[in-house]
Amino acid sequence: MENDGLNVSEKSRIREAVVDAGLRLTGPRLAIFRILLEEGLHPSAEDVYRLLAPELPSLSRDTVYRTLATFEEAGLVRKFPSGEGVFRYDARMVPHHHFICSRCLKIVDVSMSETGSVRIPESLRSLGVVETVRMEFQGICLSCQSGGKDSGALSPRIPKPHQGENR
């Protein structure tokens, strides 16, 4: 890998987020947060470990799990159950929807502004107050449609860290 996949502003954003959350910024935390921010990844703890192992051989699985738990407690990441029966992590805390490819399990962010407002069913009033609506669009991604084999969310490709703001 040529660099750590981050531009300067992204790096300082991570640093700020971690420090603001009252956490000490360590190498592993920076690396793990960077993986969490990658477009379309939404990795599981195991994915994070596997993706970082080549570049950080000293990183233990235990550290990854503990770091993710710390991030979650600090409100830096959100974890959500995936169809595979594991939790996946999302570091984009701006509310957004997801498109999930049911073949390669890639999860891509969809901005809320693209869906417009959603009508909240009346019946929900008896359950509580809705604060955020997150939708899950499921389908087959383009690369899976074209028979792409390596379209898995976990291919080691490092997407450009920057692709639009504020999703």
Residues that bind Zn ion (CB under 5 A): 90, 101, 103-104, 109, 141, 144, 151
Closer by beta carbon to Zn ion, 6 or else 108 = 108
- In angstroms, give the least distance from the CB of 40 to Zn ion: 9
- Choice between 52 and 141, CB closer to Zn ion: 141
Report the run of H or E that residue 98 belongs to, with start and end.
strand 97-101
Q: Which helix (H) or strand (E) holds 79?
A: strand 78-81
For residue 143, the minimal CB distance to Zn ion (Å) is 6
Contact 34, 6 (CB under 8 A): yes
Task: Closer to Zn ion by CB, 45 or 101: give it.
Answer: 101
Smallest distance, Zn ion to C-beta of residue 100, A:
9
Q: Edge-to-edge strand order for the sheet containing 107-110?
A: 107-110, 97-101, 136-139
Pair 52, 60: CB distance under 8 Å: no
**Rounded CA separation 39/123 (Å):** 35
- CB of 38 or CB of 109, closer to Zn ion: 109
CB of 102 to Zn ion, least distance (A): 8
CB 72 within 8 A of CB 78: yes
Q: Is 113 helix (H, G, I), strand (E, B) or coil?
A: helix
Best CA proximity match to 101, nearest among 135, 77, 133, 136: 136
Q: Cβ closer to Zn ion: 27 or 95? A: 95
Q: How far is the CB of 159 from Zn ion (least distance, A)?
A: 13
